[in-house]
Amino acid sequence: MNHKIARLQFITHSTAQSTPAEQARQVLEGGCQWIQLRMKKHCDEEILAEAEKIKALKVSFNFTFIINDNPKLALQCGADGVHLGKQDCSPIEARQLLGDKFIIGGTANTIDDVIRLTEQGVDYIGLGPFRFTATKENLSPVLGLDGYQRILEEMKAQNINLPVVGIGGVEQSDVDSLRKTGLHGLAISSAIWQKASIVSTTKEWLQAIEQTIISTERIS
């Protein structure tokens, strides 16, 4: 089943200043249409409570709602899908539980990861990290621009056409060069929620991505 994969994906982060649901509302007000709820150090009950608050925003906003790591919670709260890390259950297991209507994404750091995830039926791939980021613990080796270029070229050579989303320490100044590698989009966390105005920062990210789409189409 083909799913629409947003070019800007926001990943929540629990902070003393704002809850994931508060961050989600502001990002949605800025025009983002993809929210991934990521609460690594919280129990299922806390995650479900926050998920219900985010899901309630669908009354006012049109967006895709993804749960990080846990397919069972995604099913329980009625999310649109799940994003699986390298240490989580396999996409095959998640698909058996969720069915074809749910979006399943997977994290990759190498071309071997990409091939494995493709064979296991994911809908999109989160490839990274681009550079060091303090948002995520147990970070995989940093890829950098050359790493993205190499992996995306290998995907093309092997006729792998899944949408690939860059993640990990990406800043707005990186958008143009990263999009030219062939990335479908970007997943952003701290580069949005740490800013004084989440709404205006989200708008800036969307504008930057849209400009690269236009310029890339002109080149091709």
Confidence band, pLDDT 50/70/90 cuts, at residue 151 = very high
Q: What is the pTM of this model?
A: 0.94
Give 59-72 pLDDT, tens digit per residue. 999 999 999 999 99
Binding annotation for Mg(2+): 69, 88
Residue 199 has pLDDT above 70, yes or no: yes
Summarize pLDDT for 108-131 with one digit per residue, the tens: 999 999 999 999 999 999 999 999
- Binding residues are 36-40, 68-69, 88, 107, 133-136, 169
pLDDT at 123 (0 to 100): 98
Pick the CATH number of 8-219 from 3.20.20.70, 1.10.260.40, 3.40.50.1000, 3.30.365.10: 3.20.20.70
SS3 state of residue 73: helix
Distance, C-alpha 96 to centroid of its chain: 22
Q: What CA–CA distance (Å, rounded) separates 8 from 192? A: 11
Beta-ladder partners of 185 = 165
Mean pLDDT computed over every residue of the chain: 93
Backbone angles phi and psi of 66, in degrees to 5: -115, 135
